[in-house]
Amino acid sequence: MRLTVCELPEDRSAFERAWNDLVDHVAAEESDLVLLPEMPFAQWLPASPDDDSAAWQQAVTAHDEWITCLDEFAPATVLLSRPTIRHDRRLNEGLMWTPADGIETTHEKRYLPEEPGFWEASWYDSGRREFTPVKCAGALTGFLICTDLWAAEKARSYGQSGAHLIANPRATEACTLEKWRAGGQAMSVVSGSFVASSNRVTIEDDQSDVIFGGEGWIVDPDGTMIARTSQGQPFVTIDVDLDVAERAKETYPRPAFL
């Protein structure tokens, strides 16, 4: 499977330019599966603690509009998260898009931080306690949206379900890059799965309140970082052998707890 991760700018004009470059990259690399960052199609609302219903609705609308552009990645499958309103509840939900079936909701972000730059519990509700893997481009895939990654028992549960891949769309700061690498590596070992993550990035002259760190990455089932983006290379695509994840379930330390 050809898997693409990326870092996309927080600045909206820069985002549009990067989007066109990503479309070209996915076509050139013949990607099967593309992972986008957390809620990528609007500026990061939880940077402010001040809940704004109009701003939330604008972000929902922006995502609805941009989602119609996902067919530019066809025939690849695309994974991302989006802001939504469901049954009068605001949610950050994981999505899978395919050329054949369009959008399918796959997960609701469960674990919400509430701290400077990330006032998420003020902006939207905690999702359901459902962590069920879905088939994405042939890979059984579990979603852990940003902070969900640190729920190690959920990564382990995905491993028990036979997941090949954990998808981690995120919005994380530059000062925490090392921590998030460590988290991805730990959860890959816990689950015996590949872990892939894509992030927002704050470019040099952006006036954003939060300095996002970029750096999308892919970790193999034994915790080795096998791909990583950078400012000079904001998109990376590699071949991922799903059989490696299946065999990993039988090697240390997984047999002790899966």
Looking at every residue in the chain, the average pLDDT score rounds to: 97
Share of the chain above pLDDT 90, in %: 97
Q: Is the pLDDT at 205 greater than 70, yes or no? A: no
**C-alpha triplet 109, 115, 121: angle, nearest 5°:** 35
Q: How sure is the predictor about 175, in pLDDT bands with cuts at 50, 70 and 90?
A: very high
pTM to 2 decimals? Answer: 0.97
Count the neighbouring beta carbons within 10 Å of the beta carbon of residue 215: 23
Q: What is the mean pLDDT of residues 169-180?
A: 98
Q: What is the mean pLDDT of residues 238-255?
A: 98
State residue 204's pLDDT score: 74
State residue 210's pLDDT score: 93
Q: What is the mean pLDDT of residues 1-25?
A: 97
Q: Is the pLDDT at 208 greater than 90, yes or no? A: no
CATH number of the domain that residue 189 is part of: 3.60.110.10
Measured CA to CA, the distance from residue 244 to residue 93 in angstroms comes to 29
State residue 44's pLDDT score: 97
Split into its structural domains, the chain has a count of 1
For residue 83, give its domain range: 2-256
State residue 209's pLDDT score: 80
The answer to whether 39 touches 82, Cβ cutoff 8 Å, is yes
Q: Is the pLDDT at 85 greater than 90, yes or no? A: yes
